[in-house]
Amino acid sequence: MKLWDKLMCTCRRRSPWLFHLNTGSCNGCDIELVAAMTPRYDAEQLGVRLEGSPRHADILVVTGPVTHNSLEAIKTVYGQVYGPKAVVAIGSCPATTNVFIDSRTLDGPLNKHIPVDVFVPGCPPRPDAILQGVAKAAEILAARGNNLPVEPVVMPLVGPGCGGACACGNVTQSVESNAAESGAGHE
Amino acid sequence: MNSLIHSSLVTALARLLIFPGLLFAVPAAWFFLWVERKAVARMQGRIGPPFMQPFFDLVKLLGKSTPPRSGVSGAMMKAWPLIAVSAAAGAVGLLPVLPARGGFEGDLILLLALLEVPSMCMIAAGFSSRSIFGEIGSAREAVLSVSYNIVFLLAILSIAAAQHTLSLSALALLPPSLMRSLGIAAILICLPAKLHLNPFSLPNAEQEIYSGPLTEYAGPELALWELSHGLEWVAATGLVATLLAPPVAMWWVGALIFVAISFVIVLLLSIVAAATARLQIDTAVRFYWQCTLIFAVLAIASTLFARWRA
């Protein structure tokens, strides 16, 4: 029995199927999510499959600042995903409602309505950050099974503009210094 | 007499459960599903899923909860994937990989019937799910199956008529001929539609009608559908491999050739799937009724002509 649990844990970690839910996003994060499936990032290496039906999915990937219109849909789709399931909030909108804060058309942030496992910050986040978030969510899902998430994980910001929060800070700096040297800096 | 019945029962069970039945067919189904996904990924310039991916997917799906289903339609929805898996496993078990052992006159007809059952189950499952996407997918599957099955059955009929037999092991033992290759070409053209691959991936068209008939399935039931799809791969490619493989004396060489030919066909179909886009339903139906039917009619006409001359 213990062996079976161990096997199940591995399989849940290695086979996260996603369902993508847009709750009024500007389409920026959606494009980045699709970019994560393309040959350059190739999410299928992690066993990721973008499913058409929420019934098939393990991880609900939510973009957008949660508009009043989408609220019912969020609850329905969250119920349609069968457990064990995890939720990944992509971008700054579902986490904080971003620049739309205090708008009368919004009912965010997302974790007011459904339990969120992983927040991937960025506006939009880079595809590699999204992949990192999905991999983290799969890990959490494998560990906790059918239990509810305890504390949402906030992933570190990745890529240009992260202020050196990630390992790639050096790369962007050197690119900038190269640009400055060649006299073709930012306007 | 009693011992003869006993031994034939044992060989039948061994064929169903061990080789080429479940014990061989389930890992082979995983392997073929992996080859399909990997080949498509390589064609798209990606690296693709790890080798164990179909296994991970299946075990993970087995560990998920299932939607509560009640009433007659709920019971039917639970039954369809089970029937599909058992029929596909039975079809694999009938393949004459070890020609000297087992097989009977007319098992070709049984094989064709069993090969058709998973697709029928899928049509029924889509309609009993009451999902609009399931119903569209089922309708497409039904239309497509009427179109490709005419060609498929005519092609197999032409091969069987040329050899004067309806026994699979007798067909496997005969040497390949020109007439047979015409029939095999027609069968190969039907396989993408039978296995729901591009350019005939209409019933389960993702991004278009979600997952077609399987939209409402989750957890272990979906795992059974995945398994039945994999077993269909093994059975369909195995049928072509049976017809193509030259007869050899040693049984293990025969089994190896069988697996190798199946692998090549899987690779071929995956490459075609990666290189093409999905057709519209009317184009797909026209393709089978207008372009491919000629092949099948030619095959059966030449067979009948040859029989009449002889």
pLDDT of residue A68: 93
Select from B76, B289, B284 the least CA-distant residue to B196: B284
In Å, what is the CA distance from B212 to each residue of A60, A89, A157, B205?
Answer: 20, 27, 38, 7
Task: Look at A44 and B218 and tell me if their CB atoms are within 8 Å.
Answer: no
Asked whether residue A121 falls in the same domain as residue A169, the answer is no
CA distance B47 to A157: 26
Asked whether residue A15 falls in the same domain as residue A105, the answer is yes
The domain total for chain A is 2
> What's the angle, vertex CA B83, arms to CA B81 and CA B86, rounded to 5?
105
pLDDT tens digits, A13-51? 999 999 999 999 999 999 999 999 888 888 999 999 988
pLDDT of residue A169: 46
Asked whether residue A176 falls in the same domain as residue A149, the answer is no
Asked whether residue A71 falls in the same domain as residue A136, the answer is yes
Asked whether residue A119 falls in the same domain as residue A130, the answer is yes
Of B53, B209, B218, the CB nearest to A47: B53
pLDDT of residue B252: 80
Render A106-141 in DSSP notation, one character per residue: B---GGGTS--SEEE-SSSPPHHHHHHHHHHHHHHH
Asked whether residue A105 falls in the same domain as residue A163, the answer is no
pLDDT of residue B196: 87
Of A17, A39, A51, the CB nearest to B45: A39
- Calculate the average pLDDT of chain A: 83
* pLDDT above 70 for A178: no
CA distance B159 to B165: 9
Q: How many CB pairs under 8 A join A and B?
A: 83
Query: Domain limits at A163?
Result: 157-187
Question: Could you tell me the two tokens for B182?
Answer: 């015409």
Q: DSSP character for B249?
A: S
Of A10, A52, A55, the CB nearest to B217: A55
Higher pLDDT: A71 or B74? It is: A71
Task: Indicate if the alpha-carbon torsion angle B77, B226, B268, B19 is positive or negative.
Answer: negative
pLDDT band of residue A133 (cuts 50, 70, 90) is very high
Proportion of chain A above pLDDT 70, given as a percent: 84
- What's A93's domain CATH number? 3.40.50.12280
Find chain A residues with C-beta within 8 A of B65's C-beta.
82-83, 146
Select from B114, B118, B86, B287 the least CA-distant residue to B203: B118
Domain boundaries, chain B: 2-309
pLDDT of residue B3: 56
Task: Look at A39 and B50 and tell me if their CB atoms are within 8 Å.
Answer: no
Chain B positions contacting chain A at CB under 8 Å are 37, 41, 44-50, 52-53, 55-57, 59-60, 63-67, 133, 206-207, 209-211, 214-219, 222
Cβ count within 10 A of residue A162: 18
Bridge partners, residue A89, by sequence: A62, A119
pLDDT of residue B247: 73
* pLDDT above 60 for A179: no
pLDDT of residue B187: 87
* pLDDT above 90 for A78: yes
Higher pLDDT: A75 or A167? It is: A75
Written as tens digits, the pLDDT of chain B (310 aa) is 455 556 677 777 777 777 677 788 889 899 999 999 999 999 988 998 999 999 999 999 998 888 888 888 888 888 999 999 999 988 888 887 765 556 677 788 888 899 999 999 999 999 988 888 989 999 999 999 988 888 888 888 888 887 777 887 777 777 767 777 778 888 888 899 888 888 888 888 777 888 888 888 888 999 999 999 999 998 899 888 888 877 777 778 878 888 898 899 999 999 999 898 888 888 888 888 888 888 778 878 888 887 787 7
Asked whether residue A146 falls in the same domain as residue A171, the answer is no
Asked whether residue A141 falls in the same domain as residue A164, the answer is no
pLDDT of residue B72: 85
Asked whether residue A66 falls in the same domain as residue A88, the answer is yes
Q: For the whole model, what pTM was predicted?
A: 0.86
Task: Look at A42 and B46 and tell me if their CB atoms are within 8 Å.
Answer: yes
Task: Look at B215 and A55 and tell me if their CB atoms are within 8 Å.
Answer: yes
Asked whether residue A34 falls in the same domain as residue A60, the answer is yes
pLDDT of residue B5: 59
CA distance B74 to B56: 27
Asked whether residue A95 falls in the same domain as residue A162, the answer is no
Query: What mean pLDDT comes out for the span A74-80?
Result: 92
pLDDT tens digits, A88-113? 999 999 998 888 888 899 987 898 89
Q: DSSP character for A182?
A: T
B158 and B268 in contact (C-beta within 8 Å)? no
